[in-house]
Structure 1
Amino acid sequence: MLKSKVAVQVISPGILPDDAIMLGDAYVRQWKIPQGQPILLKFGAFRHYVKVVPVERFDGMRIGQSLARAMGLLTTTTLRLRYRQDNATLALGPLIGVLISRDNPEQQDRPFGNITLFCKELVDACAAQGAHVYFFTPDHIKGNYNSLEGWVYADGWRKIIVPVPDVVNNRLTSRKLENRPNVQLFVKETMLRHNSIIFNEKFLDKAEVFEALSKDPSLGRYLPESHVLRSSQVLKSMCQKYHTVFLKPVRGSLGKGIIRISRMDANSYSAQYATTLGTRKQHFGGIDKLYASLAGKMKTVRYQIQQGLHLIDIMGRPVDFRALVQKNEKGIWALTSIVARTAGSHHFVSNLARGGTLSTVREAVSKSNLSHANGHDAPAKLQRAALEIAKGIDTHIPAHFGELGIDLAMDASGRVWLLEVNSKPSKNDNTPMPDQKIRPSVRNMIRYARHLAEF
């Protein structure tokens, strides 16, 4: 059986004309590739007619230097091949573009700041799987929807002109960048002209997620009561119903701006604000005074008010769980990892940026105040919840996602609750990497891109 993953060798100028490629004769025979007449060579949005020259006892491909440069290939690389007889097209790929927020050409060793190691890990994962990846920012999108400027790795990072890719992984970390007209037009035009596929194509906000999932009766058991805070009446109703409520910025992340409100007695409330240094407290003599203190913030920030939960804790420090779910090589949601996060001292949010610590689910549950009877099947319950929620996002939100960070919690009875869903899980360089190996999450991203591009 022929390998679909082959070495594509870039050879010296003058040996091959631009309209010819060399290919192992076994491929030519088995795929019935016509000789002496042009076929279409495809690589992402790149299209070029070539004649195929068969080579005996050779199982790769050779292309000339100028043709390679037009394809955005600088050196010999490993790619997958696919030939379709019905339209005489030989496709190489998949070509993957990763859309990132910013670059710094002056920092040649770290042009992408704290995600540079992640980007290099993607390059290595692509080399192992027979794919090709480059990185680009909104500033590289100039209105040409066939090619753009992108960063590739070939004995160091460098910028070259590359074809528009088969698959785009949107790693933008700012809604402002994502909503730029040139980005939105690029997404629309590349899908239309080249059938490019974009995944993780947009940010999710908390209100959107909870409203969408609430339409699914099977997911209701995971959803704490939540509303967009639009009036003092909503605040009053929730504070009367629950001893503790949380206000969360609809578009917040990393635990920024979260406020915990607790009812002290009939007409007295305590508000705790999450800050980088710890928790700041304030007391209010009545719901109207509390609401008045929030009114200024609400002019610029939309809040979601959420039922307070009695989460499990370790020595008074709340514990929650971050699940990473990704679509696999068959396009099906699968759990890649799940970790427990324990809040730092003097914090009520568990984010690592706030001094939280990581551990395994079993370790955290065993140290927590959750009874063995309620906690023995915690890993299985959390995994089931993460996968059901991911499927619910797919079903009820009209956007394409390939990976999601799902924050879950567990109360003292062992019930699982959804805290939030993040469509841009962090890829910073502080993520642990065992012995510089390629993490499963990176391999899975390439596998899903191959599935999308049908390689």
Structure 2
Amino acid sequence: MRKRYLIEVSPNDQQVVFCPPAIIKDKTLKRLAFGSKSIEVNFLPHPVKNDRIVISKGIQEDLQFPNFDIPLHLFIENQILNIGPLIGIFTAGFTPFPLRPIGERSLFFSKLLSVKKTVGALPFVFGEQHIDWEQGTINGYFFHDENWKTIEVPFPNVIYDRLPNRKSEGNPKLKRVKDRLQNDYLIPWYNPGFFNKLDINERLQQDSTVAGYLPETFPFTSFSLIETMLSNYGHVYVKPKNGSLGLGVHQIIYDKHQDEYYCRYQDEGFVNRLRKFPSLEGLFKSVFAHQNLEKMLIQQGIHLLRNASRPVDFRIHTNKDDLGDWHVTAIAAKIAGPGSVTTHMRSGGDIRTLEEIFPNELCILYTEKLTTAALLLSKALERNMEGIIGEIGFDLGVDRNGDVWLFEANSKPGRSIFSHPELKDFDLLTRKLSIAFAVFLTEQSLLHPEELFK
């Protein structure tokens, strides 16, 4: 574990920083920095304590440093001692209510920010309206002592993208903020952008390490394509290219004995439906009458493992840690609701641990297979996608032969699996690492910027 130091504020105005002797030994330090702000100070060895940096009240005010009594990391580069990191979490959907500043997502963000002490970082939430470009400051929302506080701080060392949906991501005003902070201020920005299913599939198909995990996937072009896939696989899935939460997913099944087509889907009232049609054209004319098929993709159907006759797939979370290494941080089984085309809880699905649905030997086997696949896919996505990726949520399936398939990769994974009481510790781990990765990015941006911005 990296060593961290408490930042103690003494009630004077001296421009002097007292450091543990080991930090300043054989070094020439001239400035102290916090986030984007740095000031010239004098450094002296601390006569007694080796676990803290002592700064004056004047220095604290100059740096706009919020003193939360948390041991922080130190980064030394170019005669500057950086304390932090200061992590900005960029989102939208703010409200005027002090107790719930980000609406119904306030609870999630309060839990996310609550890992600050274990990680050794100062994270805050902000939107485009909280930025003062002239002063180079942000009026950020901090969560401390069980309360939300707004504090003006410098621009952060790194920014974690938590925009809530594709609409906010496409907002021109928010895109300009992102471009400006990334390009003009060279602030690393991680987990940008929602993934497009077809784009992910096409990029990973070119990567030999993971191509075997990908089901056949095509943009919708013709009924003959679907007919061919139905004859090969018995059933196919029709999905929106940019869908999420299982919305808009349809399963089409061909019964070759009766020469009939079935479509399983959830209607606009969130009712699970199964309808029968004599022809594929009739099915599409009825079920997809008001949908733009150019925004759809067709995916090979997989005969999944079942639990009590219900299909099972798996949600696997992966995160990078404070050393920049990938880890599997959570695995859960998702069991489809009765008659549902997906395993989402909204459609009646259940969350289970692998131990709950598999005997010991199979549990070990599938855990290993899913872990291996998730780590290989994480590294492949990192190689093949633009931007800095720090966390991914995978929806993986295992077929009756024990082979693993990738159904979806999510750059901003939902957290419904953590409602299961046995997964609470993994909920904490995913939150902890999603912030800890910022420690690694801060160090990279200060000491090896050529690696980060190449």
TM category, shorter = 0.7 to 0.9
Which residue of the partner structure matches residue 431 of structure 2?
Answer: 442
SS in 2 for 1:414: coil
Shift of 1:432: 5.3
Q: Map 1:135-154; keep pairs closer than 5 Å.
A: 135-141=125-131, 143=133, 146-154=136-144
SS in 2 for 1:217: coil
Deviates more, 1:309-318 or 1:21-30: 21-30
**Which of 162, 182, 200 is equivalent to 2:191?**
200
Give me the whole-angstrom Cα distance separating, in 1, the residues matched to 2:135 and 2:294.
Answer: 36
Q: Deviations over 1:199-237 (max 9, x none)?
A: 111110111111111112332321111111133333333
2:13 equivalent to 1:16: yes
Shift of 1:193: 3.9
Q: Deviations over 1:225-276 (max 9, x none)?
A: 1111133333333334332111111111111111111113475311111246
2:176 equivalent to 1:177: no
Give me the whole-angstrom Cα distance separating, in 1, the residues matched to 2:434 and 2:287.
Answer: 41
SS in 2 for 1:5: coil
Q: Map 1:37-436; keep pairs closer than 5 Å.
A: 39-52=30-43, 54-59=45-50, 60-65=52-57, 67-78=59-70, 79-84=72-77, 87-106=78-97, 108-141=98-131, 143=133, 146-155=136-145, 156-265=147-256, 267-275=259-267, 277-293=270-286, 296-299=289-292, 302-366=295-359, 377-427=365-415, 431=419
SS in 2 for 1:260: strand
SS in 2 for 1:218: coil
Residue pair 2:128, 2:177 contacting (<8 A) in 1 also: no
Deviates more, 1:304-313 or 1:43-52: 43-52
Shift in CA distance, 248/171, structure 1 to aligned 2, threshold 3 Å: same
Q: Percent identity among equivalent residues?
A: 27
Give the letter aligned to residue 195 of structure 1.
Answer: L
Q: Deviations over 1:389-412 (max 9, x none)?
A: 111111222232111001111111
Residue pair 2:354, 2:363 contacting (<8 A) in 1 also: no
TM-score normalised by structure 1 residue count:
0.86
Give the letter aligned to residue 238 of structure 1.
Answer: M
Shift in CA distance, 270/95, structure 1 to aligned 2, threshold 3 Å: same
Give me the whole-angstrom Cα distance separating, in 2, the residues matched to 1:178 and 1:352.
Answer: 26
Shift of 1:447: 2.6
Give me the whole-angstrom Cα distance separating, in 1, the residues matched to 2:128 and 2:225.
Answer: 40
SS in 1 for 2:439: helix
Q: How many residues in Structure 1 have an aligned counterpart in Structure 2? A: 437
Give me the whole-angstrom Cα distance separating, in 2, the residues matched to 1:231 and 1:11.
Answer: 72
Give me the whole-angstrom Cα distance separating, in 2, the residues matched to 1:420 and 1:121.
Answer: 26
Give me the whole-angstrom Cα distance separating, in 2, the residues matched to 1:143 and 1:389.
Answer: 39
Give the letter aligned to residue 252 of structure 1.
Answer: G
Residue pair 1:96, 1:169 contacting (<8 A) in 2 also: yes
Shift of 1:434: 7.6
Shift of 1:139: 3.5
Which residue of the partner structure matches residue 450 of structure 2?
Answer: none
Deviates more, 1:138-147 or 1:272-281: 138-147
Give me the whole-angstrom Cα distance separating, in 1, the residues matched to 2:369 and 2:163.
Answer: 31
Give me the whole-angstrom Cα distance separating, in 1, the residues matched to 2:367 and 2:228.
Answer: 35
Deviates more, 1:294-303 or 1:215-224: 294-303
SS in 1 for 2:210: helix
TM-score normalised by structure 2 residue count:
0.87
Structure 1 residue ranges without an equivalent (≥5): none
Give me the whole-angstrom Cα distance separating, in 2, the residues matched to 1:434 and 1:413.
Answer: 28
